[in-house]
Amino acid sequence: MSGREVAVTGLGLVTPAGVGVPATWHGLLSGESPAARDPALDGLPVDFCCRVPGFDAAERLGRRLSWRLDRCAAMALVAAREAVADAGLGTDHWDPLRVGVVLGVGTASMERYEEEFAKLTCGRATEISPLAIPRSVPNMVAGEVGMDLRVRGPNLTVSTACASGATALGTARQLLLADACDVVVAGGSESLCSRIPAACFHQMGALSRRGDDPAGASRPFDADRDGFVLAEGAGMLVLERAEHARNRGARVRSYLAGYGASCDAYHFTAPHPEGRGAAEALSAALGDAGLAPEDIGHVNAHGTSTVLNDRAEALALRQVFRRPPPVTAVKGALGHAAGGAGAIEAACTVLTLQEQVVPPTANLRRLDPDIELDVVGKVPRPVRMAAAVSNAFGFGGQNAVLVFRAAP
């Protein structure tokens, strides 16, 4: 094992497939999407999304705590608690000064801002909540997780658009390798299921318009794809220095072996048409892990279901891999949770390595002939693999790639 690997000892997930790791994994293997019309989006050109079913923050966190939290932060706390419990950790098992929190967030609290701006535009400025800022500034998601877990190590939020969750995991890895922490709770959270994101992304032409078939709307790499589906969710991983995990006898789910990041420096929203920056980040991640392309047995693609992004990602994979390994794109089933997506998909990659099964790409009916990849569709595929890659890309040309290695 490389001295630059860190152990993944806990996972926590809150996704449109359900709350908890088992619910999400089961939903992915089903190959079905829960996307549906959302009353909160009534009257908009795109009125469907992927919400977390039955998520009641008050029920899960208590009325007093949930009252002050934005939905994005509430989902992060639930996922973080699951991840820490899964790792077998708690206040009796760690030095709080040596435990960090690094979270990725894209837009944070658009829903809360909508409510407060409405008061302002109606001349009701004195009714604006004093919690409006603490609820919605991006750093408070990490701050709330730190307070909830009572850990006092480095606590920060990173924002690289839809790559944020993956960037957070890479940043956490760097903290551990620098010996700044023994443990880092890292991941991402986001809720895009509100009116401003729905209206804005529609105006950009980024959303699928399949209102007659919401569950079939997100189609990564499909010839008939026409955009992504708004979603929400949180993904959390407990990362530890390998020695720390070994000394406490922790169960290791996998190892985060490498991280690579780059910027396209090309366009403010579109990816480089040849996937140049994505390929550079992937090559950097493999180099960081000390692995060759042929060592990778699976790619969890960013796979947004937009024409430009899927094509650019496919070209990037073809540049790095002589023969790309089996690919899946979980946004077909879970939609696009923006800042949370990279962490959710990283957790799914860990599960894929553990189970040695690649989930299908939901709604893949006819592979785009320009996508020269082995995209898994229809049913799960057993694959023997020792390492896997998770891609995440975002506006501004942000690219983040994670390499995971299976635990012995």
* Active-site residue identified among 202, 272, 298, 302: 302
Report d(CA 386, CA 19) in Å as an integer: 28
Catalytic, 162? Answer yes
**CA distance linking residue 239 with residue 83, whole number of Å:** 10
Rg (CA), the chain: 20
pTM, whole model, 2 decimals? Answer: 0.97
| Mean pLDDT, residues 171-190 taken together | 97
Q: In the chain, what percentage of residues exceed pLDDT 90? A: 90
241-254: pLDDT as tens digits: 999 999 999 999 99
User: Tens digits of per-residue pLDDT, 319-341?
Assistant: 999 899 999 999 999 999 999 99
Q: List the one residue out of 78, 72, 76, 80 whose CA is nearest residue 10.
A: 80
**Domain 6-248, CATH homologous superfamily name and number:** Thiolase/Chalcone synthase (3.40.47.10)
Give dist(CA 263, CA 174) in Å, integer.
Answer: 19
Q: Is 302 a catalytic residue?
A: yes
Q: Do the Cβ atoms of 390 and 286 come closer than 8 Å?
A: no
Give mean pLDDT, residues 154-176. 98
Q: Under a CB-based contact definition with an 8 Å cutoff, are residues 369 and 223 in contact?
A: yes
Q: Select the CATH number that applies to the domain covering 258-406 from these four: 3.40.190.10, 3.40.47.10, 1.10.275.10, 3.40.50.300.
A: 3.40.47.10
Q: Tell me the per-residue pLDDT of 253-312, one tens digit each, with 9 for 90 and over.
A: 999 999 999 999 999 999 999 999 999 999 999 999 999 999 999 999 999 999 999 999
Q: In CATH terms, are 6-248 and 258-406 the same topology?
A: yes
- Predicted confidence band at 104 (pLDDT cuts at 50, 70, 90)? very high
pLDDT greater than 70 at residue 109: no
Of 162, 181, 193, 348, which one is the catalytic site residue?
Answer: 162
Comparing 53 with 2, the larger pLDDT belongs to 53
pLDDT reported for residue 372:
96
In terms of DSSP bridges, do strands 183-191 and 232-241 run parallel, antiparallel, or are they unpaired?
Answer: antiparallel
Residues 380 and 327: beta-carbon distance below 8 Å: no
Give mean pLDDT, residues 120-149: 90
Which of 310, 315, 296 is CA-nearest to residue 367? 310
Let me know: does 151 contact 185? Beta carbons within 8 Å: yes
Q: Where are the domains of the chain?
A: 6-248, 258-406
- Could you report the per-residue pLDDT of 137-148, keeping only the tens digit for each? 889 999 999 999
pLDDT at position 12 over 60: yes
CA 297 to chain centre: 20
* Residue 120 pLDDT: 87
pLDDT digits (tens, 9 = 90+) for 207-264: 999 999 999 999 999 999 999 999 999 999 999 999 999 999 999 999 999 999 999 9
